């Protein structure tokens, strides 16, 4: 008889956990997987997918306005039905979650809807099921959860992104606290759907960690779309009144809204998992400590995805899961290269990035060349709109290799996916420039930048 109930038990049925469970099961392993919420995890259920649906819905208001410049007229003012949209969104999410569950079953993995807690390195207790299972190997893929400042007076009146997907009605006034990608995305969503939006961030500019030109450009474009951006300030209190929620800020400003949404970061979901009983250590940031093969400090336990806080993106979790399966069940030690991973912010306008910011490139490579342009996309130039697009390429001067590409504007995420192929391959600026421009497109500007850009402020300093 087998020593354990399973060859592999996976805790968490998000994108990374599901991929690892399916691959191992398809390879003949006895696999169990537990999920305390819905199959699909953050991305499918309460993150990327429903948020992108909301972005699509909110973009139509801007499209209607642009259409008028092309001769379209609307006998009646277009209206948006929040409840109808939320219902349709929930139906689609349920369908996608069902597909994930069905694929697990087809692969032969046992799915358990329960919270799983480690009792030791080989034993998992399934809470609410009065059941304990054992496994030779365990994979933790529990993802992350929103973080809020619990000590803030009135924080109980605030919501996070998870509740934003299920609001009973579209709020008339919203304050979004935070400056990361979730904050700017939801600010654009609510503004596009007709809410009066304030974006509050304690730092000097939004999107910390992104290229400074990207940060400044996006903030300016968001303000053009009617979003009030308050920087270098934060809450001291949220006070509930008979007419709404009063946001009391440390810069003296008080503003009343109907909803306060905190998008102030996410933390690895490790609380109460029993990691310490199994010998699994956390790093200084509270994430599960892993090596390059995603192995934890316990010999038979691995971890992938946001719970390890390496690069918190769904495709990264999936690739980490594939590498785990290759290493553990196929006997082919495989690591995943976390360098030059493309990412997008589905703000309005959207952002697409691959590689290093100018600041980080200078730290890593010393001297760099910068190529940069700002222009009105053809679509908006025709209508007379004042919206601008930003494109920026950062090049290692010593090797001529492109080490960063940054785009802000229409279709930026679509463009950056293909740019990432070239950057990942180590293409030089000279090779990049050999590409013939595709006209008329916005993307052609990427391959027509020939003059090095010098920041006027840096030039003045010299």
Known catalytic residues? 439
CA-to-CA distance for 311 and 7, rounded, in angstroms? 28
CA-to-CA distance for 51 and 205, rounded, in angstroms? 23
Q: Which residues of 312-344 are buried (b: 16+ CB within 10 A; e: fewer)?
A: bbbebbbbbbbbbbbbbbeeeebebeeebbbbb
Question: Is 200 within 8 Å of 206 (Cβ atoms)?
Answer: no
CA-to-CA distance for 61 and 59, rounded, in angstroms? 6
Question: Is 264 within 8 Å of 178 (Cβ atoms)?
Answer: yes
- Tokens 């300016």 found at: 220
Token pair recorded at residue 17: 């956990």
CA-to-CA distance for 324 and 302, rounded, in angstroms? 8
User: Other C-beta atoms within 10 Å of 256: how many?
Assistant: 13
Query: DSSP string covering 47-77, please?
Result: SHHHHHHHHHHHHHHHHHHHHHHTT---SS-
Of 363, 310, 314, 306, which is closest to residue 337 (Cα–Cα)? 310
Question: C-alpha angle 16/20/21, rounded to 5°?
Answer: 115
Question: Is 104 within 8 Å of 22 (Cβ atoms)?
Answer: yes
- 131-140 and 123-127 beta bridge pairing: antiparallel
- 144-146 and 131-140 beta bridge pairing: unpaired
CA-to-CA distance for 390 and 215, rounded, in angstroms? 11
CA-to-CA distance for 377 and 310, rounded, in angstroms? 35
CA-to-CA distance for 390 and 219, rounded, in angstroms? 12
CA-to-CA distance for 294 and 393, rounded, in angstroms? 32
CA-to-CA distance for 419 and 111, rounded, in angstroms? 39
Angstrom CA distances, 370 to 312, 373, 397, 451, stand at: 28, 10, 9, 9
CA-to-CA distance for 126 and 116, rounded, in angstroms? 5
**Which one-letter DSSP state was computed for residue 168?**
S
């Amino acid at each position: 008889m087998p020593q354990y109930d399973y060859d592999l038990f996976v805790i968490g049925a998000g994108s990374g956990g599901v991929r690892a469970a399916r691959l191992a099961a398809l390879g003949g392993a006895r696999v169990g997987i537990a999920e305390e919420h819905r199959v699909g995890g953050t991305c499918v259920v309460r993150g990327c997918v429903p948020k992108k649906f909301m972005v699509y819905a909110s973009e139509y208001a801007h499209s209607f306005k642009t259409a008028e410049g092309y001769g379209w007229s609307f006998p009646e003012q277009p209206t948006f039905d929040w409840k109808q949209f939320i219902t349709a969104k929930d139906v689609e999410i349920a369908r996608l979650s069902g597909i994930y569950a069905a694929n697990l079953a087809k692969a032969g993995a046992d799915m358990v809807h329960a919270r799983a807690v480690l009792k030791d390195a080989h034993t998992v207790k399934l809470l609410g099921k009065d059941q304990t299972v054992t496994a030779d190997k365990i994979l933790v893929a529990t993802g992350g959860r929103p973080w809020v400042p619990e000590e803030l007076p009135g924080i109980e009146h605030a919501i996070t992104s998870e509740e934003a997907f299920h609001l009973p009605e579209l709020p008339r006034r919203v304050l979004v606290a935070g400056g990361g990608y979730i904050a700017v995305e939801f600010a654009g969503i609510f503004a596009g759907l007709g809410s009066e939006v304030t974006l509050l961030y304690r730092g000097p500019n939004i999107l910390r960690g992104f290229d400074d030109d990207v940060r400044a450009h996006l903030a300016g474009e968001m303000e053009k779309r009617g979003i009030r951006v308050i920087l270098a300030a934060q809450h001291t209190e949220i006070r509930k009144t008979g007419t709404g929620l009063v946001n009391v800020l440390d810069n003296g400003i008080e503003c009343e809204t109907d909803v306060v949404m905190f998008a102030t970061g996410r933390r690895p979901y490790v609380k109460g998992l029993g990691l310490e009983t199994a010998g699994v250590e956390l790093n200084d940031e509270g994430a599960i400590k892993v090596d390059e093969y995603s192995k934890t400090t316990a010999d038979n336990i691995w971890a992938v995805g946001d719970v390890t806080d390496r690069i918190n993106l769904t495709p990264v979790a999936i690739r980490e899961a594939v590498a785990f399966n290759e290493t553990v069940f196929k006997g082919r030690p495989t690591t995943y290269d976390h360098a030059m991973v493309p990412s997008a912010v589905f703000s309005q306008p959207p952002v697409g990035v691959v590689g290093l910011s100018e600041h980080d490139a200078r730290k890593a490579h010393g001297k760099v060349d910068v190529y940069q342009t700002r222009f009105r996309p053809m679509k908006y130039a025709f209508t007379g709109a004042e919206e601008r697009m930003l494109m920026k390429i950062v090049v290692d001067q010593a090797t001529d290799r492109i080490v960063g590409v940054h785009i802000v504007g229409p279709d930026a995420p679509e463009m950056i996916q293909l740019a990432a192929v070239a950057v990942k391959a180590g293409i030089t600026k000279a090779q990049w420039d050999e590409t013939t421009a595709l006209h008329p497109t916005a993307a052609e500007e990427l391959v027509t930048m020939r003059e090095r850009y010098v920041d006027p402020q840096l030039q003045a300093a010299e």
